[in-house]
Structure 1
């Protein structure tokens, strides 16, 4: 069977943007999505998260972003994605969980259980949601309370009347404190002193933050999130928690976990009912392992000094939603860049075979 020109893995923001641009370029492709319905990671967010709460959802190319109102984000964004897929007749097949991508004498083979697709190029748009990062601390398996990661967050009402230890120094931890501190007892711990942004987050500041992520990707280092280098900011909905001192009472990491709490480095003990790990995610790229794209530094080096989407070690592979394109705005731009990268790879392949 003649291989397809491209396979896109993932139908979140980056995958849909890529499919839109591949269609515009007349490139035969198929999008494989692991979810049962449109919406990418958004459909798995907690019910209490509204469109007013989210940090931002950029409009997909040729469409408008959902309104920033009181709608549940896990309903509004998936509905807009479903409309987009239908309006542009994007070639999406679901549910398909990709296990691995291999090379068969110059042709890429995308495997999903017993099914497989042969293709000349692959665009990886799997994001990070399926790869939550949970650090290990001594004794964590003995804890008798609840341990939840951001991916499991059930909404603020679940925590009423419980003492909640929030672990993490990123935007999610700040948001959880904002929701929980006004209704229950909270404690915040981070590995490093939080860095707060006191000036306005201008377009120039955003560009500078993205540039720092690009530098890491250009060197083949594992990417940091864009949010991780911008510094933390409080939104209006977090001001009540600020007034209550939730952000002032930050402590360094505990030394170990015990059945009913945590032990600090100085030997003192703190009782807690819940440990909420707001410790982030890692890129979902394990299915690309056999292609050996990682550098010795542990990341995947991308072209154009980290600004592009083409894997330096194999130009047939594009990565979107990785490194500097992990934000919704970045994912849209990366979709266009990746489609061009696919077009270039196909052109080079045809030139070599003629």
Structure 2
């Protein structure tokens, strides 16, 4: 009996240590320490890419109790919602009208009783302080270069108590980068490329320091807007001066498609339009351009567009395996057909060959 009591006392003494071992200690993207007694169970993810990244590291949407409206829209119309049907019911109206598009609706967020709120750290204290002052535990995401994306993935994996998932997703990024056959720009002059969006009625080019610029570069392209950083408002006349050989269109803009470029009196005169090398970016489970776990599929798609004869991999097979790695389920052939936008990109140079079964 004495031995049993001693053994019980030993176990009780260990309980605080065991609880600590099951907890989470990590740092957010601003370097602030995040300490949790256990992996998060209820998360509000205000930055749009943070929700699918959280889902990817957990292969589940069960921990997500709030998200950005963009994720709701993507889920309703595509693969993400079919993979994780509960996303159609996750609250998504959590941002208040104000000077910043990311001003949190603290009352609505607090009502969800989250363990943690993810917020954008690079937008300044005005979008963070209301959360902290309300007593909501907050971790900050920062979007920018590829290194930041990898740190975000690892942070999400730490928060759900699965750091090995973060390492697996980062290893996949390295594997894809190692397998893409990138032409030597000095020797072959990789194609000049413009990534084009439409915002508030204006055309916007993507410059350096962005995930999209990284994607174009690693896939063998040369960004015509590389002399500027971030998003740049441009005119059709400026695009004509750049005269890109390939124009890529933002997947988020429903009102910007290859047909619009071909019909434009100025843009139709670019080398890209004349060669029928204008392409709308696909949407996988989530959009491929913003920083998230699916980005390697964007790199693979771009590399095929830029130099189809140099790339020996099967794009459809890469998509099938990549979605399975990220989310835990392979897409069907019909789902791959749908996400590659064959109708919108119909008639573009080499596109039928690139996306064929």
**Greater Cα radius of gyration, structure 1 or 2:** 2
Normalising by structure 2, we get a TM-score of 0.25
Between 1 and 2, higher relative CO (CA 8 Å, sep ≥ 6) is seen in 1
Identify the structure with the greater helix proportion: 2
Normalising by structure 1, we get a TM-score of 0.25
